[in-house]
């Protein structure tokens, strides 16, 4: 059953979305295609939690994706689903790590902090699901 987005876009959304796209270099974070609407690659911002009113400081909840990638992952990537049998894709690891820091540690880390602690944070999900890490 498809998940539905919740909430309303907050004030300042258009500026925030543009800043995210600028920070991504106007390229899809998944396939690295540039924003070229005429070629069928229009950048979007996916709310991975499906909550349109997610706080802007939850950077891990916003994925800058071309429309094609957005449609491919929109209903497949669910952060609350245990991710232990299939490893995260490299492009998605920082976002998962940021989410796990908030979920398991109550910490709202910057992207840089999440990257510095990537292995530790990704291991939190495995530990929570009873997977032994070596």
The whole-model pTM stands at 0.85
User: Which sign does the torsion angle of CA 101, 74, 33, 84 carry?
Assistant: positive
The backbone region for 112, taken as left when phi is positive above 0, alpha when psi lies in -120 to 50, beta otherwise, is: alpha
Write 46-50 long-range contacts (CB < 8 A, 24+).
46/70, 46/73, 46/74, 47/5, 48/77, 48/79, 48/95, 49/79, 50/3, 50/4, 50/5, 50/6
Pure H helices in 24-110: 67-73, 93-100
Instruction: Report the distance separating Cα 107 and Cα 109, nearest Å.
Output: 6
Provide the residue-wise pLDDT of the chain in tens; the chain has 134 residues: 455 666 788 889 999 999 999 999 999 999 999 999 999 899 999 999 888 888 888 999 999 999 999 999 888 887 777 776 778 899 999 999 999 999 999 999 999 999 999 999 999 988 888 765 54
Please list, in sequence order, all residues whose beta carbon lies within 8 angstroms of the beta carbon of residue 16, skipping any fewer than 6 positions away.
Answer: 56
């Amino acid at each position: 059953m498809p998940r539905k987005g919740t909430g309303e876009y907050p004030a300042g959304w258009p500026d925030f979305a543009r800043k995210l796209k600028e920070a991504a270099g106007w390229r899809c974070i998944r396939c690295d295609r540039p924003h070229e609407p005429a070629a069928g690659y229009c950048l979007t911002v996916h709310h991975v939690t499906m909550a349109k009113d997610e706080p802007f400081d939850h950077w891990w909840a916003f994925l800058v994706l071309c429309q094609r990638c957005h449609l491919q992952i929109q209903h497949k990537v669910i952060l609350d689903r245990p991710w232990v049998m299939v490893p995260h894709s490299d492009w998605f690891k920082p976002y998962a790590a940021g989410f796990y820091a908030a979920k398991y540690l109550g910490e709202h880390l910057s992207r840089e902090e999440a990257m510095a602690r990537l292995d530790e944070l990704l291991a939190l999900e495995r530990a929570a699901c009873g997977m032994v890490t070596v």
